[in-house]
Amino acid sequence: MTTRRNVLTRSAAALGAASTGLFLPELARAQSDKVRVGFMLPYTGTYAQLGVSIEKGFLMALNEQGGKLGGKEVEFFKVDDESNPAKGVENANLLVQRDKVDVLVGTVHSGVQMGIHKVARESGVLSLIPNAGVQVATRAQCAPNVYRTSFSNSQPTLALGKAMMDRGHKKAVWITWNYSAGAEALEGFEAGYTAAGGTIIEKLAVPFPSVEFQALLTQIAALKPDAVACFFAGGGAAKFLRDFHAAGLSKTIQLYGSGFLTEGVLEAAGPAAEGVLTTMHYSDSLDTPRNKKFRLDYVKAFKAQPDVYSVQGYDAGQLLVIGANAVKGDLSNKSALYAAMNGVTIDSPRGKWTMSAAHNPIQDMYLREVVKGENKVIGIAGKAVADSGAGCRMG
Ligand code: BEZ
């Protein structure tokens, strides 16, 4: 796996057009009259596609402002975090200490996020989390300079259990990757499913990012549950869907998951994804003028279909635009910046959502089914779902 650390001084439009395939050599530090934005995202590995979607979504929000933030030009820096938690602090410091970014945008993987979080809390640099759901970031370790525009890991799965019990699926096996995102997704699933009367008969896990599912699929077949519920995402999710189907399990066992299971992978999964039920704060098929316009504009700009990760990146961009406009691009004016961002309601393609006091979205959850290669909304699984924010005391 190659690590590419890139320093870019380009407009949002140029960066977007070039996608992630083209990199400029390291350039001299820019003048301080520009806003310095650092992307720390996975551009390689099982979560690569997620990082690319987040970046595109974020750029789209800036491009809607003529590529500016609070009237100032924007300069971009980026680091491939490889979804490697061991390098989280080091990589975040490249952006904060070396590149002196004004804002960190990242990341996808919860373990890597903890590295960014440490650096953000110590340096005070503005940190926008466009995916990673690690709960402590908006619970006991919440911070005035850290805002999440995605979800906490237990939010999407909290609403899953009731949908399963409504379909008479009373005995389930849980399966995931063995790291914090999987453990916290289980926390939400277990709370919702047991409250609705369901029983988890087995909890299974493989190390991240392993896609060696065969032994566990054999175990699931022997357990004969009514349903399987899971957290997987990116390339690993597509492989899990294909292996579950190839093992013949989809004939007798209903597969459920948090919506990451079927986001951005439907082409790769093919018929294996048909009929899979998930809960998520977005769906491609949301029939609203806001979502339709977003999708059209995104396809026009990037020649690619958006997914939930694009939406989360776009909303991180929208949040930053609101903050930057309030301080005319001077992100060092922290009190005015945070005042503009706190409690804000974001008009998102997913539907309007509100920033909680702990800086995590309060948002609706949709129940979706994969029908003919699309995530179709078939109901609302939860209205205004909020994370507990337990232990959060804003300093
Ligand atoms: C996480 O590590 O928090 C995560 C990664 C991919 C999708 C959702 C959550």
Does ligand 1 come within 6 angstroms of the Cβ of 261?
no
Largest CA distance in the chain: 63
Which of 139, 149, 153 for mutating ligand 1's site (highest number of atoms within 8 Å of CB)?
Answer: 153
Distance 25 CA to ligand 1 centre (A): 30
What do you get for the CA distance between the two ends of the chain, in Å?
Answer: 40
Q: Does residue 328 sit in helix, strand or coil?
A: coil
Question: What average pLDDT does the structure give for the chain?
Answer: 93
Q: How confident is the model at residue 395 (pLDDT cuts 50, 70, 90)?
A: confident
Q: How far is CA 309 from the centre of its chain?
A: 5
C-alpha span between 27 and 378 (Å, rounded)? 49
Per-residue model confidence as pLDDT tens digits over 304-314: 999 999 999 99
Q: Which residues are CB-neighbours of 171 under 8 A, at least 6 positions away?
A: 198, 199, 201, 225, 226, 227
pLDDT number for residue 32: 63
CB 300 within 8 A of CB 16: no
Q: How confident is the model at residue 142 (pLDDT cuts 50, 70, 90)?
A: very high
pLDDT number for residue 90: 98
Token pair of 379 as six digits: 């109901």
Which of 52, 108, 154 for mutating ligand 1's site (highest number of atoms within 8 Å of CB)?
Answer: 108
12-151+288-359: CATH class: alpha beta
Each domain of the chain, given as residue ranges in start order, spans 12-151+288-359, 155-280+365-385
Taking CA atoms only, the protein residue closest to ligand 1 atom 7 is: 233
Q: CATH number for the 155-280+365-385 domain, one of 3.20.20.370, 3.40.50.2300, 3.30.70.1380, 3.30.360.10? A: 3.40.50.2300
Distance 133 CA to ligand 1 centre (A): 6
Per-residue model confidence as pLDDT tens digits over 68-126: 999 999 999 999 999 999 999 999 999 999 999 999 999 999 999 999 999 999 999 99
Average confidence (pLDDT) over 228-244: 97
C-alpha span between 3 and 7 (Å, rounded)? 13
Distance 330 CA to ligand 1 centre (A): 31
pLDDT of 18 > 80? The answer is no
Which letter does DSSP use for residue 98 in this model?
I
CB 98 within 8 A of CB 166: no
Per-residue model confidence as pLDDT tens digits over 255-266: 999 999 999 999
Q: Do domains 12-151+288-359 and 155-280+365-385 have the same CATH topology?
A: yes
Does ligand 1 come within 6 angstroms of the Cβ of 110?
yes
